[in-house]
Amino acid sequence: MPYTYETDGAAIYRQSFATIRAEADLARFSPEDEPIAVRMIHAAGMVGLERFVRISPDFTQHARAALEQGAPILCDARMVSEGVTRARLPAQNDVICTLHDPTVPGLAQQMSNTRSAAALELWRPRLAGALVAIGNAPTALFHLLNMLEDPDCPRPAAIIGCPVGFVGAVESKDALWQAQPVPCCIVEGRLGGSAITVAAINAIASRTE
């Protein structure tokens, strides 16, 4: 006997978001920020994730304005860059991941750091006013914070800092939240990852659910 299930993609989204809004505690999020939290919960399949989501008061405004003005999205990993829904982008924004640039392994060796961290050095020409999305590598987020300690380093418009893992993830996100060199969004603790990070980007890129 064939299985019966919902086959309308739009209906699945509507029911999913309605379920999240019914079950999650979203009261502390502003109307601008709430869709970001909802999409992050949806990507994780985890009501309760909202307890760990932290969004700067002016983050969504700055991030959305940057995209509407054509700013690039700088991603730490292909899993992030490939997940961005291009049709949602307001200005055909460039989505850039430099991790696999052929110069990165040598640069990492010179820096005595990971490839994920070294790849950020290639962001410098595009960093000013960009939306930064780090969803995998704590070393990338730490290196970005070190870069931004330099007053001459270009400033991005906003940072999504959601690296996942057991070594450095908690500490790198705590450091970002405490320093807040620019408006930012994090998921506290070990949680995070590419899907959650992409969900935040897609929510910022378009108000349409």
Q: Of the candidates 50, 76, 89, 77, which has an alpha carbon nearest to the alpha carbon of residue 203? A: 89
DSSP state of 186: E
Helix or strand (DSSP H, E) at 56: none
**E strand intervals along 52-119:** 53-55, 73-75, 95-97
Query: Is 100 noted as a catalytic residue in this protein?
Result: no
Q: Of the candidates 126, 59, 70, which has an alpha carbon nearest to the alpha carbon of residue 96? A: 126
C-alpha span between 135 and 109 (Å, rounded): 23
The amino acid occupying position 175 is A
Please pick, among 42, 62, 100, 143, the residue that the annotation labels catalytic. Answer: 42
**E strand intervals along 19-105:** 53-55, 73-75, 95-97
Q: Which residues are catalytic?
A: 42
